[in-house]
Structure 1
């Protein structure tokens, strides 16, 4: 039997009787469940039941509110697929997956607002602003701004916890600015919380999910907060009140999104643009692919476009038709997944790019690209893996749309870090999904200075979301997540508890390993992986690194010894009265400022541990 036929037969056979999903519900909902089961089997199961990369399993989807699934199909990540279904069919699929009808989800408790919500945010308080803290994206909190000493770190305890109502995931980078925590949630609600108490100063509802951190700064005489959503919109709101200042749609491609955090610098907001077209490309009927990654410079005061540069200069053209007659296009891809890095000395912006989605592979995919800060003109690019054209057809049951190049999908999910070496020479250091860490010369057109392998790498392996660097070393968390083979078991992927993880300290000067901290292990925890996909942060002589196993650990920068270990995967009493628990730590890393360490916890993707909590730690919890 052909691979696609085998997959469809397997998922059809594996769909449970709808009556086992929800017994005793009203007849109308039961009918929707039954209809939804058939719709799911025909249109969704081939991806969600077979554990494809970047695809949440049915088990993960079953934990969501039905409203979230409908929103994803109507205006979210799955809006392209959802457009082929009627409103009633979308609700039927949601009812099948969750056993609940839209409207059944109970309302969360009233949000606890701060008594001093009208007071403006402090402007001189220590901060962790945006993704990488500094224009160089080094994720290094220097000196007194951390408010911690090495002796304080072992005494860190939870000061407060905040729950995201109805969410099964809390995987985003928080920001600390002006005595407030700015953080996004899955449905797109932005919270400004008091750093010390966790009460809410204001909230703002974006149109759809927000995965970026929030960058805060002055724009046109106003203290503003900036972020992007997964529909390709960028927002500016008043940082003191949450009032919308402007909103701008940065790309017209139907599945473009903003995943990397926009960077505010000198009156302009630099926005990286990505997409999930490599997911849509798995469908043989989809005309893969036409998206190109880009950087957009906006006037921070008004949102007006100053310039926009596609990192693939050539527009996609028709290439060939696939075996079912669908016209294919290329070149495409090279999404910019991470926050831009600013070089103040040379007025340059550096971005790292994703893989190509279709043939022919682009020369600027899997690359570091340097652009002129003022004009957006490309100064140079350095490709680290050539020929990496990939989409999810390559690993799925129907390879029709897989590019002939069939690349390894080992692009960049994290930004380059700009550092100055002891010699005075400068370098861009960055980890790749190939599990190779590179140093490039920004002053010699990206010439490779050194490359060091730390693991096996792969589509989900190697370095995922980011490293941190101080003045001597780069600290690199290793994913290398692996899964146990379960055939067509629709329970979804099961992480291998014996593979992946570890933290590596490499010398900035030559890439040689200073130390390596092996993962402590899962110790029998179900659905556990030791992989360390989340970005690291460094402060107070320690490296903070979260793990898919649910632990947030602090490692000594001297030798990699663990000086503090907190298991976030448990239930919490929250300041906002929402039932919350922690889980896997991924995508976002800890923000450190003013004696506080703030992180999100919960990420059920890849068979991990779901959760919905924001945790704030302080010395002795005081």
Structure 2
């Protein structure tokens, strides 16, 4: 089922000439080394230029462009149309043929939302996982689903009521059969959807209704009927240009809590940009109606003019402290916890690179625990022209992963937070975030340390290390990955931070566009922790000693259930969703030198 209110999004045609001027002309019009001239490009078919951007030498340069934008550039530079238009509407053969029946969100095993529970442990218990350490070595691909036209597959799948709910870079959210991968319904959001879908229950007209909640890269939150995909409401949670919802929303007691981040630190790469005025926030909405109940900014004060840049452009501050992660709910304290990112401009604030506790009812900040001070950073800080790099020029040590609330077997609680600094921290949630321990597991960096998240049981936290080494490329904001840096898997004691074991990364060998970095979120079941790597492998580690129990190389072509050409690539961003004896995970992540891919993989024994 396609929702007509969003269908117009697919009809928008980007301006190929403007995109070429902004992203490509610096090399192709200036005769840069190995960059084909405009005259040479005009001799090529559009398909060849598109292939260069999606699987050839231009992958990194084009990694920030959408599918439609890449196609518009290819048609402009060649002066030729594509032989076949891009069609993202699923074929009739991909749709489920049997009547779906009544959708029951409470039936069967589930991995709901980002972290599987309010505490964001990313740990699935044995009765729900229905997958044991002894089974893992026998996991095989049961079916694959491909996202048409996409180079990345970066939304966390959710498993509820016998269905898999998953978003895509094209902005299409799918409801699939967990058993076969056929499509129950699909919905077109306004922009790309990186968040996990969370299924909640709301009361409408006196009856309980199952609703799919998610957010997009245009800072819009959505509620659609989980049974049929019809739009119930949508709400823009931030109007500042470049605002986005990357962290997955969560539902608690009839409220939807939406984290808000910003792409302004990338916009600041342009020297004449007035950096910077956006602020991170968490927004509470009525889950039934979308009405805003409160909005809590991570920086309380509004940005003001500060000084002029060397180019005479007005600068602003304070700014930044985005919330990139899914909130963690603490029912006992009636608060939610989020990690914040770096500031974008001076002056730095006490709420950046911090764990923040926010009252669930009022939105009031209860406490803040900053772990890295004076961290104001934009993309300009790693470019030759540093006009919009703040004087503090911080290290970009965000908390991009969700805090994990662990209740140990003795009843004591620890809030575990991994940081891009390469540090993992244990805080006391019952003592205003008092630091219990801090342990260094990596060097850290702009894509270093703990990137998208760890998993925890009652005893240990299982930490994958990113530490991507970034190789700067001329005339582009994109970077390639160092094949010799990053990666590794750790187990730390929740109580003390003591290292239990460490397993080094296997390495890339001769694989192109490879990094051993383990940036993707970890998922765990009793006895096993799963970690995907930028090298294209998904591995299962013994939680006892860190030995690798299973290793699946996803970099290959797949025959998909929806008939769309599919290929696996790097694992980055989301982790696996495990429920009912099956494991679901996306493969493909082209940013930061990763390998492109566009598939959702479903494994079973």
Q: TM-score, normalised by structure 1?
A: 0.87
Change (3 A) 1:477 1:97: farther
Deviations 1:245-269 (A, max 9, x none): 0000001111111000000111100
User: C-alpha displacement at 1:12, in angstroms?
Assistant: 3.0
Instruction: Give the one of 42, 54, 61 matched to 1:58.
Output: 61
Range with bigger deviation, 382-391 or 119-128: 119-128
Change (3 A) 1:201 1:453: same
Deviations 1:101-159 (A, max 9, x none): 47853436615111234312232211000000100000000121001121111100000
Matched, 1:188 2:164: no
For 1:599 and 1:258, the matched residues in 2 are separated by: 21
Equivalence for 1:114: 96
- Assess if the C-alpha contact under 8 Å between 2:408 and 2:458 holds in 1: yes
Matched, 1:309 2:287: no
Equivalence for 1:166: 149
- Assess if the C-alpha contact under 8 Å between 2:348 and 2:376 holds in 1: yes
- Assess if the C-alpha contact under 8 Å between 2:422 and 2:441 holds in 1: yes
Equivalence for 1:21: 41
Equivalence for 2:550: 564
- Assess if the C-alpha contact under 8 Å between 1:330 and 1:359 holds in 2: yes
Instruction: Give the one of 368, 372, 390 matched to 2:355.
Output: 368
Deviations 1:430-451 (A, max 9, x none): 1100000001111111111000
Equivalence for 1:276: 263
Equivalence for 1:437: 424
Equivalence for 1:76: none
Deviations 1:482-511 (A, max 9, x none): 1457x6498974422222101100000100
- Assess if the C-alpha contact under 8 Å between 1:349 and 1:372 holds in 2: yes
For 1:506 and 1:255, the matched residues in 2 are separated by: 37
- Assess if the C-alpha contact under 8 Å between 1:11 and 1:490 holds in 2: no
- Assess if the C-alpha contact under 8 Å between 2:86 and 2:149 holds in 1: no
Deviations 1:559-592 (A, max 9, x none): 0111111101100011011110100010111000
SS at match of 1:151: helix
For 2:480 and 2:80, the matched residues in 1 are separated by: 26
Matched, 1:516 2:502: yes
Equivalence for 1:37: none
Instruction: Give the one of 231, 243, 252 matched to 2:230.
Output: 243
For 1:497 and 1:489, the matched residues in 2 are separated by: 22
For 1:491 and 1:271, the matched residues in 2 are separated by: 29
For 2:360 and 2:353, the matched residues in 1 are separated by: 21
Matched, 1:287 2:274: yes
For 1:361 and 1:528, the matched residues in 2 are separated by: 35
User: C-alpha displacement at 1:295, in angstroms?
Assistant: 0.4
SS at match of 2:134: coil
For 2:109 and 2:384, the matched residues in 1 are separated by: 51
SS at match of 1:279: helix
Instruction: Give the one of 310, 314, 325 matched to 1:338.
Output: 325
- Assess if the C-alpha contact under 8 Å between 2:528 and 2:540 holds in 1: yes
SS at match of 1:152: helix
Equivalence for 1:452: 439
For 1:491 and 1:134, the matched residues in 2 are separated by: 36
SS at match of 1:350: strand
Deviations 1:449-473 (A, max 9, x none): 0000011111111110000000100
Change (3 A) 1:388 1:466: same
Deviations 1:49-99 (A, max 9, x none): 9x9xxxx7325469x64x2448xxxxxxxxxxxxxxxxxxxx4x4535788
SS at match of 1:145: helix
Range with bigger deviation, 392-401 or 303-312: 392-401
Change (3 A) 1:492 1:280: closer
- Assess if the C-alpha contact under 8 Å between 2:464 and 2:518 holds in 1: yes
User: C-alpha displacement at 1:22, in angstroms?
Assistant: 4.9
Q: Which runs of 5+ in 2 are unaligned?
A: 1-24
Equivalence for 1:614: 600
- Assess if the C-alpha contact under 8 Å between 2:478 and 2:591 holds in 1: no
In the TM superposition, what are the counterparts of 1:470-489 in structure 2 within 5 Å?
470-483=457-470, 488=474
The number of equivalent residue pairs is 566
Matched, 1:95 2:98: no
Deviations 1:165-224 (A, max 9, x none): 111111221100111000001110000000000000000000111111100010122100
Equivalence for 1:552: 538
Instruction: Give the one of 594, 602, 607 matched to 2:580.
Output: 594
SS at match of 1:95: helix
Deviations 1:499-533 (A, max 9, x none): 21011000001001000011111122111111000
- Assess if the C-alpha contact under 8 Å between 1:317 and 1:331 holds in 2: yes
Equivalence for 1:131: 114
- Assess if the C-alpha contact under 8 Å between 2:353 and 2:375 holds in 1: yes
- Assess if the C-alpha contact under 8 Å between 2:62 and 2:70 holds in 1: no
Change (3 A) 1:22 1:199: farther
SS at match of 1:247: strand
Q: TM-score, normalised by structure 2?
A: 0.89
Equivalence for 1:540: 526
SS at match of 2:137: helix
Equivalence for 2:452: 465
Give the superposed CA RMSD.
Answer: 2.5
For 2:402 and 2:425, the matched residues in 1 are separated by: 12
For 2:348 and 2:134, the matched residues in 1 are separated by: 51
SS at match of 2:75: helix
Matched, 1:581 2:567: yes
SS at match of 1:16: coil
- Assess if the C-alpha contact under 8 Å between 1:337 and 1:354 holds in 2: yes
For 2:139 and 2:153, the matched residues in 1 are separated by: 21
Q: Which runs of 5+ in 1 are unaligned?
A: 1-6, 34-39, 41-48, 71-90
